[in-house]
Amino acid sequence: MDQRTFTEWHSGYSVGNSELDNQHKKILSLCQQSIDCISDDSREGIAKFHLILNELAEYVDQHFRTEEAFLKACGYPQLAQHIEEHFEYRRKLTELLIGATFGEVDKDSLYRYLAVWWYEHILTADKQYAAFIRTVDK
């Protein structure tokens, strides 16, 4: 997949749950907003970038709690591993937020991180539970 277009939602991203899909769409929107700020080094651009990173961190945390509760209710057997992946994402995003606070964010690295995270977590780990929940619904 072309990483320059990963933030464009398409049906192949669906995990089969409308609430989680809608949250993933919102995460993609926030990723795109942060990417849009990469080349804006103005004071306003930097301030907007920090606000978007904060909103992304808060929203992703909310999403993770929702997803984890849903997977627990479904009896997802790889829940502990999934929670660990969420923990690692939170840790990295916290590092980025601290770096942004001190003006140390490498925006290109952030872009690469968001793209890799989307592909590795959402399109790999989340797709695994998507297959599981389809079997539970039967």
d(CA 85, CA 7): 20
CATH number at residue 47: 1.20.120.50
Is 85 within the bounds of a domain? yes
Q: List the structure tokens of 78.
A: 């790889």
Is 88 within the bounds of a domain? yes
Is 37 within the bounds of a domain? yes
Is 21 within the bounds of a domain? yes
d(CA 28, CA 135): 27
* Whole-number Cα distances in Å, 44 to 40, 49, 98, 106: 8, 8, 19, 17
d(CA 75, CA 136): 9
Domain encompassing residue 43? 17-137
Is 4 within the bounds of a domain? no
The better pLDDT of the pair 12, 62 is held by 62
d(CA 91, CA 62): 15
| Across 18-22, average pLDDT | 94
The better pLDDT of the pair 44, 107 is held by 44
Sign of CA dihedral 78, 79, 80, 85: positive
Question: What is the count of structural domains for the chain?
Answer: 1
pLDDT of 25 above 60: yes
Q: What is the pLDDT of residues 65-121, one digit of tens each?
A: 999 999 999 999 999 999 999 999 888 888 877 777 676 666 677 777 888 888 888
Residue type (1 letter), 45 = G
